[in-house]
């Protein structure tokens, strides 16, 4: 049996497969990293929304006090200008809400006021508005 000179394709094929697998590994790593960042931002957006709702709730309690605490309200929340609440409770800790009230407007004989609350957690913010009738 006579062996002739053989040209192998094994080494170039192995290098190609290793390069392809490395490229796929890098792409998967980037996708996982982006997914983690998106998830964190979604969590912070939700936390900011609840912070904004909590701030608006505090303002509504000063305008319309709970029946059990009639001395709680004075309308000072809206009259005092913007107010900042820094939260320390679980779920929205390290978040804050900035609450302000617009001047009352009279439409069709009814007096309306708008309470605006901006919640922020980290680098994301959410703003909600509550319109109330006096």
Residues of the chain with pLDDT under 50: none
Spell out the domain ranges in the chain.
10-133
Q: Which pLDDT does position 122 carry in this prediction?
A: 85
- Residue 117 sits at the vertex; the CA angle it makes with 63 and 129, to the nearest 5 degrees, is 80
CA atoms within 13 A on the CB side of 55: 31
pLDDT of residue 28: 94
pLDDT at 114: 87
> For residue 35, how far is the Cα from the chain centroid?
16
Q: Which pLDDT value is given to residue 81?
A: 74
Taking the CA atoms of the chain, what radius of gyration do you get in angstroms?
30
The pLDDT, as a whole number, for residue 24 is 95
Q: What is the pLDDT of residue 26?
A: 94
Q: Within 13 Å, how many C-alpha atoms sit on residue 84's CB side?
A: 5
The pLDDT value given to residue 12: 86
Q: Are 83 and 61 in contact (CB under 8 A)?
A: no
Q: Which of 87, 54, 57 is nearest to 72 (CA)?
A: 57
């Amino acid at each position: 049996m006579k062996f002739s000179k053989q040209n192998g394709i094994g080494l170039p094929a192995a290098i190609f497969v290793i390069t392809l697998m490395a490229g796929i590994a890098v792409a998967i790593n980037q996708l996982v990293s982006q997914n983690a960042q998106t998830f964190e931002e979604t969590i912070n957006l939700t936390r900011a929304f609840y912070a904004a709702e909590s701030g608006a709730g505090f303002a509504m309690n000063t305008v319309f006090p709970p029946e059990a605490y009639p001395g709680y309200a004075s309308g000072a929340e809206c009259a005092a200008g913007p107010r900042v609440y820094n939260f320390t409770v679980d779920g929205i800790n390290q978040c804050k809400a900035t609450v302000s009230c617009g001047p009352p407007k009279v439409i069709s004989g009814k007096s309306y006021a708008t309470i605006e609350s901006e919640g922020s957690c980290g680098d994301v913010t959410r703003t909600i508005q509550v319109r109330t009738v006096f």
